[in-house]
Structure 1
Amino acid sequence: MRKAVFTAAVSAAVLLAAGVACLLLWQEGIFLPNRPSKEQFPVRGVDVSAHQGEIDWPVLAGQDLSFAFVKATEGSSFTDAQFAENWVEARSSGLRVGAYHFFSFDSSGESQAAHFIKTVPKREGDLPPVVDVEFYGDKEQNPPSREEVEARLVPLLIRLTEHYGVKPILYSTGKAYKRYLAGGYEEYDIWIRDVFFTPSLPDGREYAFWQYTDKGRLPGYQGDEKCIDLNVFCGTEEEFRRYGAQP
């Protein structure tokens, strides 16, 4: 009996140590739970912000990447410090580029749209604009209602569609998607974040992009954040070439 208890305790300790080791390796970007196959997802890209600091775009783009989403704006007044440089240099490196806006629960959709449009040029061949809907600050503990979010989000999406001539992409985490997007917004493509599993949306929808890790480690940037977000397009290379074309 004592031997069995001892063996069980040792096994539990080994499993705990292995779990802690995996967690540490994941935090350092050495162990990635998700590794989507190149055969299934041939089109790959990154999303970046000022947290990656100065980016050597030719170096970054040369690592089997096809696209980059660049943070542009947040709310009604914040502009990412690296946007202007990233926007120009990413495209010059041969990548297809799109800009994303971090959605604010606290300001009107009209003012957020005006800020994004003022910041992001309209250029043929670029990926559609992205609206990033996720919790921030205390919003997960004190979430706005779906109706409150819709009252801000819908005017933002409509205005961006009118200006850029293509419907925006909606980026979201699993929790935010379930609360605010599931069962609605069918006319907008989804970019979903899941860094541990292959995503499965609660309403059964397919998604156009998948952010499969926020712990990527690639040469080509020097910033406060040593990791970078890695993504795949959920389609073929030919479908990606046609993706987001203005009607």
Structure 2
Amino acid sequence: MRQFLAFALVCGLAACGGGRIDGIPHRFSDIDPYDWRGITPAHHPIHGIDVSRYQGDINWHRVAASDVAFAFIKATEGGDHADPAFAQNWQGAARAGIPRGAYHFYYLCRSAEEQAAWFIANVPYTPGALPPVLDVEWNHQSRTCRTRPDPAVLRAEILTFQRIVGVRYGQRPLIYTTVDFWSDNELWKLRGEEFWLRSVAGHPRQKFPGQSWAFWQYTGTGVVQGISGQTDLNAFAGTEADWSTWLMRRRL
């Protein structure tokens, strides 16, 4: 996925991003906004959310009315945990007409085969869904798993998950990750994968130098109509036309 930086660099904030001076698109808010400079989230026209049970009951029709273009919904974690709100969110987003995909939070103390099987057991094959997502990051608060695998071993495990899940759903998963995890494990060596990058204090061009990406998570303290409290906000890398092309290419 190209980064479409030429678009962002030449595009004026008000004309192309529809944003405010704080860099957040006008249809959303942020209770703890970063002081965005240069290329801001609002330079990107396509925005969406990712949610889990922590967002509580979501009014998906109000979310859709806020011009949310996509939603990634937590489904599973490790080899034995399923998000209790997944089915409700999965169905709610579909009824509201929001393109949605399911994500798996990777547990560093279980094999990729186990975790892929657990995800497959809990996420139905749904024609038209967005690609599945593998969320790989350090979990510093884990009470049961403090291991740090060798980077080469970890990358091999990621590729195993990608292969198994990709075959099942007909779409290779996106890889979601953070700045430190990407750097510590040299994830740029995973050639040909499509990334969803978290960077809440700078554009991915600055924080993930040279890395192509499809989605950017730019805050964890966003406010969206239809969701009580905070939620993550994300931007797609390209234009509205690029988004239409991406959907046609990646959705079944």
Bin of the TM-score, shorter chain as denominator length: 0.7 to 0.9
CA positional deviation for 1:175: 0.4
TM-aligned CA deviation for residue 30 of structure 1? 4.6
The equivalent residue for 1:60 is: 63
Aligned residue for 2:224?
218
2:102–2:133: 8 Å Cα contact kept in structure 1? yes
Task: Give the 3-state SS of the residue equivalent to 2:200 in structure 1.
Answer: coil
Residues 1:29 and 2:35 aligned together: no
Q: What is the identity, as a one-letter code, of the residue corresponding to 1:82?
A: A
Are 1:175 and 2:180 an aligned pair? yes
Of structures 1 and 2, the larger Rg is shown by 1
Contact 2:151 2:184 in 1 (8 A): yes
In structure 1, the partner of 2:48 is 45
2:204 counterpart SS class: coil
Distance 2:220 2:157 in 1: 28
Q: Match for 1:215: what amino acid? A: T
* Equivalent in the alignment of 1:101: 104
> Which position in structure 2 is the counterpart of 1:208?
214
* Partner SS, residue 189 of structure 2: coil
Give the C-alpha shift of residue 124 in structure 1: 2.2
Between 1:87-96 and 1:233-242, the stretch displaced more is 233-242
Task: Please tell me whether the aligned partners of residues 134 and 176 of structure 1 are also in contact (alpha carbons under 8 angstroms).
Answer: yes
1:13 equivalent in structure 2: none
Code of the residue aligned with 2:57 in structure 1: it is: E
Unaligned runs of 5+ in 2: 1-29
Consecutive unaligned residues of structure 1, counting only runs of 5 or more, are: 1-27
2:201 aligns with 196
Shift of 1:91: 1.5
Distance 1:61 1:34 in 2: 26
Larger mean Cα displacement after TM superposition, 203-212 or 74-83: 203-212
Q: Deviations over 1:120-177 (max 9, x none)?
A: 1122221111100100036898632213313422211110111111111000000001
After TM superposition, give the deviation of residue 70 of structure 1 in Å.
0.3
Q: Distance in 1 between matches of 2:119 and 2:245?
A: 24
Aligned 8 A contact 1:72 1:100 in 2:
yes
State the SS of the aligned residue for 1:221.
Answer: coil
Q: Which shifted more, 124-133 or 233-242?
A: 233-242
Q: Deviations over 1:58-108 (max 9, x none)?
A: 111211210000000001110011000000111211111011100111101
The residue matched to 2:188 in structure 1 has which SS? coil
Aligned equivalents of 1:150 and 1:204: distance in 2? 18
Cα distance in 1 between the residues matched to 2:146 and 2:80: 25
Match of 1:160 in 2: 165
Please give the per-residue CA displacement for 1:189-247, whole angstroms capped at 9, x wherever unaligned.
Answer: 1110011111135451221100011110123124xxx2110000001222222325258
TM-score where L is the length of structure 2:
0.79
| Aligned length, in residue pairs | 216
Matched, 1:78 2:84: no
**In structure 1, what is the Cα distance between the partners aligned to 2:239 and 2:183?**
27
- The residue type equivalent to 1:213 in the other structure is T
CA RMSD of aligned residues (A): 2.2
SS at match of 2:250: coil
Change (3 A) 1:146 1:96: same
Q: Identity percentage over the alignment?
A: 35
3-state secondary structure, aligned to 1:54: coil
